[in-house]
């Protein structure tokens, strides 16, 4: 074990958390995803193609990014209801402020990314230093940033620079860029999970009081969590703009519940401190393959909504079953 990894793991143990790769209870999600992949391939054999899977990942990528943002908040024993509205805010900024298809004002992309981080910082400040509950603070932000997005662009439209569109729908050599996007998200989590900040996030989510007693600045950690969440949600808005080649100010609300569902289906604990972004990516892909199956079987669109809800209830019920049985056995 390297000299860097050892103190990180010692701090994790002191704070009462674990850095295991995949908790035993999450193998059910892996098997569920594998079953859906097999079923989808059976319905449409041409899906077994690099480009076809790339298109599926491209469709899922905004949800992957929002689930990643949501996971960070949940790991700290919070929630971020504003991820969808932050996404559409940066989305419409890209569609209206970068100079259209030519991208004559591409230099503004950095301030637009900063808007997402600033939105997260506002949430973090309200929660960590203002004492507001995450639900209340991010619910208010959800309403505010939805209003900002509609103020900037009242209806779908605008124009997205071809540079961004080509980056999103193009290829890196023979590989669709969506593969690279997912790989970057997973690599980010691999690094963060082993970093001092990752240890602090898991420690705060596991036991805030114990984390404080171990010298962790709880308020600063929460501030950084929501800043990261806002930053990632802002990147999701830029990606969505590139994928659709337009601004979509009303799209955010449709991503909120799936971002939470993906976190739960993946296996991240809503009580905080256990789980991770990699699991949430699996959760997103479960929902994506369900929707893809429904579409290719030419079933009504509401079937996908019902199936996603049923899947969420099934996963939660199965994970709760051992606790229910143990309570029944207790005299």
| Crossing angle (nearest 10°) for helices 301-329 and 253-266 | 40
pLDDT at 307 over 90: no
CA–CA dist 281, 10 (Å, integer): 28
List pLDDT tens digits, range 51-85: 888 999 999 999 999 999 999 999 999 999 999 99
Which of the given ranges, 28-32, 99-103, 162-166, has the highest pLDDT on average?
A: 162-166
For residue 49, name the pLDDT band (cuts at 50, 70, 90).
confident
Helix, strand, coil content of the chain in percent (nearest 5): 75, 0, 20
* Cβ neighbour number for residue 136 with a 10 Å cutoff: 13
pLDDT at 188 over 90: yes
pLDDT at 153 over 60: yes
- Alpha helices (H) in 44-133, listed in sequence order: 50-75, 83-97, 109-128
Please give the helix or strand (H or E) that residue 172 lies within, else none: strand 171-172
pLDDT at 99 over 90: no
Q: What is the CA radius of gyration of the chain?
A: 20
pLDDT at 4 over 70: no
| Of the listed ranges 100-104, 207-211, 250-254, 284-288, the one predicted with least confidence | 100-104
| Of the listed ranges 20-34, 105-119, 219-233, the one predicted with least confidence | 20-34
Break the chain into its structural domains and give their ranges: 26-320
CA–CA dist 186, 178 (Å, integer): 13
pLDDT at 331 over 70: no
CA–CA dist 264, 274 (Å, integer): 11
**244 Cβ contact partners less than 8 Å away, ≥ 6 residues apart:** 160
More confident residue, 99 or 327: 99
List pLDDT tens digits, range 271-289: 888 889 999 999 999 999 9
% of the chain exceeding 90 in pLDDT? 60
CA 137 to chain centre: 19
Domain 26-320 in CATH 1.10.3470? The answer is yes
For the chain, the residue count is 331
CA–CA dist 310, 182 (Å, integer): 26
For residue 16, name the pLDDT band (cuts at 50, 70, 90).
very low
Model's pTM, two decimal places?
0.88
Closest CA to 229 of 308, 110, 134: 134
pLDDT score of 10: 55
């Amino acid at each position: 074990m390297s000299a860097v990894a050892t103190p990180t793991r010692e701090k994790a143990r002191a704070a009462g958390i674990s850095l295991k790769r995949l908790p035993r209870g999450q193998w059910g999600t892996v098997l569920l995803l594998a079953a859906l992949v097999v079923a989808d391939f059976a319905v449409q054999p041409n899906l077994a193609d690099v480009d076809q899977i790339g298109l599926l990942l491209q469709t899922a990528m905004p949800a992957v990014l929002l689930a990643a943002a949501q996971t960070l908040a949940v790991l700290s024993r919070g929630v971020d209801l504003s991820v969808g509205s932050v996404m559409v805010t940066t989305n419409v900024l890209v569609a209206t402020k970068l100079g259209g298809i030519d991208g004559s004002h591409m230099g503004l992309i950095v301030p637009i990314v900063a808007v997402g981080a600033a939105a997260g910082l506002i949430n973090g400040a309200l929660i960590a230093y203002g004492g507001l509950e995450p639900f209340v603070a991010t619910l208010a932000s959800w309403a505010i940033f939805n209003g900002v997005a509609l103020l900037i662009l009242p209806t779908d439209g605008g124009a997205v620079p071809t540079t961004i569109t080509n980056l999103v729908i193009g290829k890196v050599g023979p590989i669709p860029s969506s593969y690279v996007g997912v790989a970057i998200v997973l690599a980010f989590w691999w690094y963060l999970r082993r970093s001092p900040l990752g240890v602090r996030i898991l420690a705060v989510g596991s036991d805030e009081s114990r984390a404080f007693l171990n010298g962790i600045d709880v308020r600063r950690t929460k501030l950084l969590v929501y800043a990261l969440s806002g930053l990632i949600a802002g990147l999701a808005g830029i990606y969505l703009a590139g994928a659709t080649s337009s601004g979509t100010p009303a799209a955010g609300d449709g991503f909120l519940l799936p971002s939470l569902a993906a976190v739960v289906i993946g296996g991240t604990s809503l009580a905080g401190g256990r789980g991770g972004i990699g699991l949430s990516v699996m959760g997103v892909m479960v929902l994506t393959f369900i929707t893809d199956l429904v579409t290719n079987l030419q079933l009504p669109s509401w079937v996908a909504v019902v199936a996603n809800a049923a899947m969420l209830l099934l996963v939660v019920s199965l994970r709760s079953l051992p606790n229910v049985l143990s309570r029944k056995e207790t005299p």
